[in-house]
Structure 1
Amino acid sequence: MIVGRVIGWFLLFCALVLLGWDAVSSLDNGTWGFAVLGQRWYEIDQALGGFTLNTLQAGIERNISVDLWDNVFAPVLLWPAVAVFVVPGVVFLLLFRRWGGGRTQRRFSGKR
């Protein structure tokens, strides 16, 4: 359960970083808007000197299916990057939250 909460908080932290990045970018551009996931992934990829986005596309198209890339991955890359991390983060936090409130003392523990 704690692993799910940690993943949820990590995803929300990533969303907060992306939101800050969008805010700083909007100050440069003069207009407010959310960047899409594909754009942010490309910018991170270029900064680190990698080709993960192109490699992922080639691997999926060659080894799995071209339709999977065209119908699933490509549309997700056009979604706002903040939303891609906020939605699963909130879902993880709701699924793995503590359901009984805080810790309760056992009634019949034998210690008095």
Structure 2
Amino acid sequence: MYSEKVMDHFTAPRNVGEIDNADGIGEVGNAKCGDIMKIYLKIEDDVIEDVKFKTFGCGAAIATSSIATEMIKGKTIDEALQLTNKAVVEALDGLPPQKIHCSVLAEEAVKAAIEDYKKKNNK
């Protein structure tokens, strides 16, 4: 049902945790399935220096959070804003149709964290 990459990111997620004094924090949730994702960004000169996440949800939600953080770390804000749920799904070698919403949450959480950063910094 799940690809090896999904299982890898679920059983050994990358970038788990919180960043104290994060420059941007994005939290999104899906009431229907109960998944909640929170992304923390540390940004310097418009580059994402560090990113962490905390996700409450199913294996696919954890895997999409994990890979999304890997995909944006070291990128500029503008590059990170280009992240799509489709790119997250492709990076995980696919998700079952009923789990695609998890990749949408990952995209939304990243964008919410960047929006939070922009608001805090009048950008």
TM range (shorter): under 0.3
Greater strand proportion:
2
Greater helix proportion:
1
- Larger C-alpha radius of gyration, 1 or 2? 1
TM-score computed with the length of structure 2 as normaliser: 0.25
**Which of structures 1 and 2 has the larger relative contact order (alpha carbons within 8 angstroms, sep 6+)?**
1
TM-score computed with the length of structure 1 as normaliser: 0.27
